Amino acid sequence: MLQRVAQQYGNITSMLVTLDKHNKSYNFIASAFACGTAGYFLTSAHTIKPHDNLGIMISREINTFQTTKAESLEGFAVTLVGFDPINDVALLKANEKLDFNMPSPSAFLGDETAIKVGTSIGYLGYPYGSQGLETVKISSSIISSKILTSNGTRALQLDSSVNDGNSGGPLIDIASGKIIGIITGRYSPSGPTPVAFIGGVPLGQDSNISYAVGISYAVDLMKDEGIYV
């Protein structure tokens, strides 16, 4: 079942980057994934600044052996067309015409409100992409809790340690094969500031509790853009 998820979403999960003014070099910032045939992508709002020069680097073929640092990637500039910082979702559109072989969004985007605690899930992204690991990774976990954030946002708690760089990637219900959320990050017992560093590695920020926001907030942005059918 997890294999099916990997084959279905591995090649549409991409790197979100900032581009230099000539679009010749990039810096990794987060994960993202295609959500429609016309070059639209979803990611986490907290990873970007609205005036960043943003780009998407398309995933390489997941079933072949690849170097961890990509020697060449297909990339293109994108524009921010939907931004919801309260619920931590953002919608991007490619500046050039793209044609992904994907079904309509309503066929592969699910409903987080119907998911039960204990559901097996998979998630994809580019953990430690900022440190040169430019290969998509699939992981598995379960929904350990359903929570409301201080803003009232519906979020799914995962029994898993989501790594830096996974934010913005899709969360998938393995049974249905539908995307039910967007990975946002990991709970840090010490808060945003590490308690100490050893060899440059921050301490006090690891846990096996991570979060994803419900996909319905992304669907709202897609409806505003007129692309949810």
Each residue's pLDDT tens digit, 164-192: 899 999 999 999 999 999 999 877 655 44
Domain that holds residue 206: 105-219
Beta strands 89-94 and 75-84, pairing class: antiparallel
Could you tell me if 155 and 167 lie in one domain? yes
* Domain tally, the chain: 2
Neighbours of 117 (CB within 10 A): 11
Instruction: Report if residue 228 sits inside a domain.
Output: no
List, for residues 130-161, the tens digit of each pLDDT value: 887 788 999 999 999 999 999 999 999 998 87
Question: Among 103, 126, 159, where does a domain finish?
Answer: 103
Report the DSSP beta bridge partners of residue 31. 15
Could you tell me if 90 and 112 lie in one domain? no
Beta strands 178-186 and 210-214, pairing class: antiparallel
Could you tell me if 156 and 205 lie in one domain? yes
List, for residues 39-89, the tens digit of each pLDDT value: 899 999 999 988 889 999 987 788 888 888 766 567 889 999 999 999 999
